[in-house]
Amino acid sequence: MIRLQQVNKWYGAYHALVDVDEHIAKGEVVVICGPSGSGKSTLIRTLNRLEPIQGGHILIDGQDIHAKAMDLNRFRSRIGFVFQQFNLFPHLSVLDNCTLAPIRLRGLKPPQARREAMALLDRVGLAHKADALPANLSGGQQQRVAIARALAMQPPLMLFDEPTSALDPEMVGEVLLVMRDLARDGMTMVVVTHEMGFARDVADRVLFMDQGRVLERAAPEAFFQTPSHPRTQKFLADIRTPFSSAV
């Protein structure tokens, strides 16, 4: 479904993505991990063209998404993207947050959009909050609304960039459970996260990035038990004993 061919990206003189070659199959859940600054956000942002690339190709369903002829708005509206910050429209109710794009971009009639949005809110456990404003929800609830809002565009692909990093610890689980259910329903997902429990339980494959390169890719079991690259081994050791470098 997604094919990255020799993808290279620079920020000015800084080589942020180096020869990235990956295939992601339909229905696959890929977790990207790696140290801060390794290029995880950059990579995921190239997948919906929030970032341009200077070398290589990215094909989604056979279409070169960085080709000049792409209808960018139409393309982007089809890819679900959930960020660290929830980015809900603050002046709109939860329900209206979830119906705005389907009405404007999918051309749904409001009653139909509301029916679909209510079903999605139910799926993320928030149907009872449909009339609330985002400011009156917890962080975990807001992030679940953000996921429902993305799903309302019926995306074939969902991208997540550290969706739980801004949450208080007690709210991380509820968001990861929604993501796990989405994965079990067959959604194709690319997830940047430090939640290694999620990676172990839900991912089909884990990619490890360092300095703009994908250094390792493996099924979770092999990734965690027998990482082959020394940098992966060090990364995993560091996150298992987070204070080791400070002591």
In the complex, the residues that contact ligand ATP under the rule CB under 6 A are: 11, 14, 16, 34, 36-42
> Reading across the β-sheet that carries 29-33, which strands appear in turn?
79-82, 157-161, 188-192, 29-33, 205-210, 213-218
Q: Does 41 bind Mg ion (CB under 5 A)?
A: yes
Give which of ligand ATP, Mg ion, none residue 48 binds (C-beta under 5 to 8 Å, depending on kind). none
Provide the minimum distance between the beta carbon of 125 and ligand ATP in the complex, in angstroms, as a whole number.
28
Provide the minimum distance between the beta carbon of 156 and ligand ATP in the complex, in angstroms, as a whole number.
24
Count of C-beta atoms within a 10 Å radius of residue 247: 5
Q: Does 232 bind Mg ion (CB under 5 A)?
A: no
d(CA 102, CA 77): 9
Report 117-156 residues binding Mg ion (CB under 5 A). Answer: none
Closest CA relative to residue 11, chosen from 56, 57, 42, 45: 42
Nearer to ligand ATP by Cβ, of 86 and 96: the residue is: 86
Residue 70 DSSP code = -
Nearer to ligand ATP by Cβ, of 40 and 114: the residue is: 40
Q: Does 42 bind Mg ion (CB under 5 A)?
A: no
Provide the minimum distance between the beta carbon of 209 and ligand ATP in the complex, in angstroms, as a whole number.
6
What tokens were used for 79? Answer: 């890819």
3-state secondary structure 106-142: CCCCHHHHHHHHHHHHHHCCCHHHCCCCHHHCCHHHH
Provide the minimum distance between the beta carbon of 174 and ligand ATP in the complex, in angstroms, as a whole number.
22
**Interacting residue ranges for Mg ion, rule: CB under 5 A:** 41
